Amino acid sequence: MRKGEGTPLADLLASPAARGLEGRDYIETKDWSDEEIEVALALSARLKEMKRKGEPHRLLADKTLFMMFFDKSTRTRNSMEAGITQLGGHAHYLTEDTMQVSHGESPKDTGIILSSYGHGIAIRHDLIPGEGNRYMREIAEWSAAPVINLQCDIDHPCQTLADLMTLRERFGRDLRGRRIAVSWAYAPSYAKPTSVPQGLITLLPRFGCDVVLAHPKEFTLVPETMRAAEEFANRAGVRFEVTGDMDAAFAGADAVYPKSWGCLELMRRPEESLKLAASYKNWICDAKRLTRAKPAALYMHCLPADRGNEVTDEVIDGPQSVVYQEAENRLHTGKALMALTM
């Protein structure tokens, strides 16, 4: 039985760690302690069990979440909107062009007003380096309600929490000794944010995973995040490695997470970033490359994956793929985060 399953909901919510999260922002996973992350995972497992059994869990009856999106979304929007509905509340979907933000309204005014109307603010602002995380933290400074990061330029803490939940469901709670390969992969669609790989390398080492990061030399991640990943790995007594070889990263891995992201130096010039990426079309997760990992290695991706570029259909639709399990877990972890903070 996974931690959280079968535990009375009231007991989970009554723990000191859970009570201490009421009103707390969730902007980067590093903002929460290991114990607080464990509480969120335990509650996620319990809520998943309750949904499957059809047991009501209206923990946020009559509460309102304002969701501000500066970028497109499928899983994030729908998991949070469905999640708060199942918790008994309601979500407002707000885009930049439908708000006075597009006319220059300040984060201060937005945070004060929206938090006076409801009980939580959730924001996706991920495409421009140096902007999204700063904007969320400024909203949070003035908001009387908790702020949840739905993906910024630094972290995607809702996605990576669901990824950690998925790894535990597959491998058990103790992940020590498990090697996770987080790799850049080619995609021609757009210059994707760096937040998913950055979120993975800063969260997974804290919970026992050995992480190897692979990317072409031009596709580096934010230096401060790299230093944080090294510090977390050292603190946990696990390994964090960096390589420019995708095959080497996959070798002996228990799970592979090949995901495209843009060149940091060219994020404001996305066409140039895509042109540079086209030099590395061989960075693809196909069946042959997957054989370098362990025989039962998991294939992971936050979705949407660029089929035929980041990954072949044979792999993403194959028996080692857990992408739909990850996607489902976005619902349960999102619900846990809202229930704990709102």
At 205-263, the pLDDT tens digits run 999 999 999 999 999 999 999 999 999 999 999 999 999 999 999 999 999 999 999 99
Query: Which residue type sits at 194?
Result: T
Neighbours of 53 (CB within 10 A): 7
| 218 part of a folded domain | yes
Among candidate residues 38, 50, 46, the one with its CA nearest the CA of residue 5:
46
pLDDT in tens, 139-157: 999 999 999 999 999 999 9
Residue 322's pLDDT band (cuts 50, 70, 90): very high
Q: Are residues 117 and 169 in the same domain?
A: no
| 4 part of a folded domain | no
Q: Are residues 188 and 317 in the same domain?
A: yes
pLDDT at 6 over 80: no
Query: Which residue type sits at 99?
Result: M
Q: Are residues 211 and 317 in the same domain?
A: yes
Does residue 304 have a cis bond before it (omega within 30 degrees)? Answer: yes
Of 6-15, 65-74, 107-116, least confident by mean pLDDT is 6-15
- The terminus-to-terminus CA distance of the chain in angstroms comes to 28
pLDDT at 283 over 80: yes
**Number of structural domains, the chain?**
2
| 1 part of a folded domain | no
Residue 7's pLDDT band (cuts 50, 70, 90): confident
- The pLDDT, as a whole number, for residue 196 is 98
Q: Are residues 144 and 292 in the same domain?
A: no
Residue 8's pLDDT band (cuts 50, 70, 90): confident
Among candidate residues 66, 72, 114, the one with its CA nearest the CA of residue 90:
66
Six token digits for residue 298: 């998991």
- The pLDDT, as a whole number, for residue 69 is 98
Q: Are residues 228 and 97 in the same domain?
A: no
* Three-state DSSP string of the chain: CCCCCCCCHHHHHHCHHHHCCCCCCECCHHHCCHHHHHHHHHHHHHHHHHHHHCCCCCCCCCCEEEEEECCCCCHHHHHHHHHHHHCCCEEEEEEHHHCHHHHCCCHHHHHHHHHHHCCEEEEEECCCCCCHHHHHHHHHHHCCCCEEEEEECCCCHHHHHHHHHHHHHHHCCCCCCCEEEEEECCCCCCCCCCHHHHHHHHHHHHHCCEEEEECCCCCCCCHHHHHHHHHHHHHHCCCEEEECCHHHHHCCCCEEEEECCCCHHHCCCHHHHHHHHHHHCCCCECHHHHCCCCCCCEECCCCCCCECCCECHHHHCCCCECHHHHHHHHHHHHHHHHHHHC
Q: Are residues 177 and 50 in the same domain?
A: no
pLDDT at 189 over 90: yes
- The pLDDT, as a whole number, for residue 296 is 96
- The pLDDT, as a whole number, for residue 184 is 98
pLDDT in tens, 149-185: 999 999 999 999 999 999 999 999 999 999 999 999 9
Q: Are residues 265 and 301 in the same domain?
A: yes
pLDDT at 3 over 70: no
CATH number, position 258: 3.40.50.1370
Q: How far apart, in whole angstroms, are the C-alpha atoms of residue 340 and residue 39? A: 9
Q: Are residues 60 and 124 in the same domain?
A: yes
Tell me if 46 sits within 8 A of 18, measured CB to CB.
Answer: no
Burial 99-127 (b: 16+ CB within 10 A, else e): eebeeeeebeebbeebbeebbbbbbbbbb
What average pLDDT does this structure show over 27-40?
98
- The pLDDT, as a whole number, for residue 313 is 98
- As a whole number, the mean pLDDT across the chain is 97
pLDDT at 72 over 80: yes
Q: Are residues 85 and 170 in the same domain?
A: no
What average pLDDT does this structure show over 37-43?
98
CA dihedral 152, 158, 160, 164 (to 10 degrees): 170
Q: Are residues 68 and 123 in the same domain?
A: yes
Among candidate residues 111, 129, 131, the one with its CA nearest the CA of residue 120:
111
Q: Are residues 145 and 170 in the same domain?
A: no
Q: Which domain holds residue 130?
A: 9-155+330-341
| 259 part of a folded domain | yes
Residue 1's pLDDT band (cuts 50, 70, 90): low
Tell me if 162 sits within 8 A of 326, measured CB to CB.
Answer: yes
Residues 6+ positions from 239 with CB-CB distance below 8 Å:
210, 211, 212, 233
**CB-side neighbour CA atoms (13 Å) of 56:** 6
Residue 4's pLDDT band (cuts 50, 70, 90): low
- The pLDDT, as a whole number, for residue 5 is 66
What average pLDDT does this structure show over 297-305?
98
C-alpha distances out from residue 168 to 41, 45, 298, Å: 10, 11, 12
pLDDT at 114 over 70: yes
Q: Are residues 138 and 228 in the same domain?
A: no
By percentage, how much of the chain surpasses pLDDT 90? 96
